[in-house]
Chain A
């Protein structure tokens, strides 16, 4: 397994609401699309076709596979992700180390797993099932958790490292999630960076959040904080990811504000501005 072949620099999560803004970024080399929001049959949406024509890489990012669920991953969801990888000629796809449904009930969000051997086994089995149906490598993203399970057997670094090693998957490292978990659990985010297999990082996510009821939430609706940018720099000093991607899912600010965020991420990582 090799990491992404080239340096892509700074990208942004493509969303229909900011398609015009994204199209106007002259140095853009890659975007991510939410897999469940794009049809795999028929032609790709024109805005994404235009990006592909500019040789911008499009990475399908799944949010509903539920790889950490106790039940086997749904074959049709894997097939959809595979079809999108083919449609966009993507070098890889990504999903989360999380579960989103159980017993047929949708949670509506990414939920944390117990950090147990049993959950590692279930997740690895599902990642292997997904890999069997995918034409490209998959990168796995550890999530931000508002709460933890009561019976953890492994700490976060060991839990993530074991899943990646046993499934030979890449790591999608969400720096905002690392920040959120350290802030909510106590501890320093740099300590986690020091223990993760950074050589497996395919790309990194960067996003804003906000505190609510005493807990930091990874909202993707708020500005990227200076503390998260510092952590981007701390990660890049250890081992710079081939690509970093800004996630914004709503409450979109003015174009110049988004451009400034992209520039700040590029500066923190030492990549050229894409704006």
Chain B
């Protein structure tokens, strides 16, 4: 193979993180094993950022997250958990409270990185979130 390392690496990453077909010649089973290991690692990372969200799914957390994430490349564990939480309303009480507090402290439009809100705005929103 000559001169196409960049495109071949991109095709492999796409197969691993966003559900694209496994490039020809690779062992489908082993790439699948690696893909699932990556999803478990992502699920663990999101669990650290969103402990109440993860706990609300109990032992089904990893499979729930993996099903949601297998066609979505990671935007980082903060945003991955956020996107999943917003898509799963109504959430269990503790997970809903966790989401409300994040929404109070950060402005997140779902498309670009969350931005920390101003102190006064955050304080008012936090007061509402905890009522």
Contact = CB atoms under 8 A, between A and B. Distances in A.
Interface of A: 69-71, 99, 101-103, 105-109, 111, 114, 116, 118-119, 122, 146-151, 212-215, 217, 250
B111 interface: no
B37 A107 contact: no
Closest 10 pairs (CB-CB, A-B):
A150-B25, A70-B6, A103-B10, A147-B30, A102-B9, A70-B5, A102-B10, A146-B34, A102-B13, A213-B33
Given A106-B74, A147-B26, A71 B13 contact: no
A96 to B, nearest CB: 15
B13 A105 contact: yes
B13 A215 contact: no
A109 B41 contact: yes
A263 B13 CA distance: 39
Given A101-B13, A118-B2, A250-B44, A106 B26 contact: no
Contacts of B41: 108-109
Interface in B27-52: 27, 30-31, 33-34, 36-38, 41-42, 44
A116 B34 CA distance: 21
Contacts of B36: 213
A217 B37 contact: yes
Interface of B: 1-3, 5-10, 12-14, 16-18, 24-27, 30-31, 33-34, 36-38, 41-42, 44, 73-74
Contacts of B13: 101-103, 105, 107, 111
A146 B3 contact: no
Contacts of B31: 147
Contacts of B10: 102-103, 105
B15 to A, nearest CB: 10
Nearest to B73: A105
Nearest to A71: B6
Contacts of A213: 33, 36
Contacts of B2: 118
B40 to A, nearest CB: 8
Contact of A107 (B8, B33, B38, B44): B38
A251 B36 CA distance: 19
Nearest to B25: A150
A102 B73 CA distance: 12
B38 A102 contact: no
Contact of A150 (B7, B17, B26, B37): B26
A147 B73 contact: no
Residue with the highest number of chain A CB atoms closer than 10 Å, among B8, B9, B16, B74 = B9
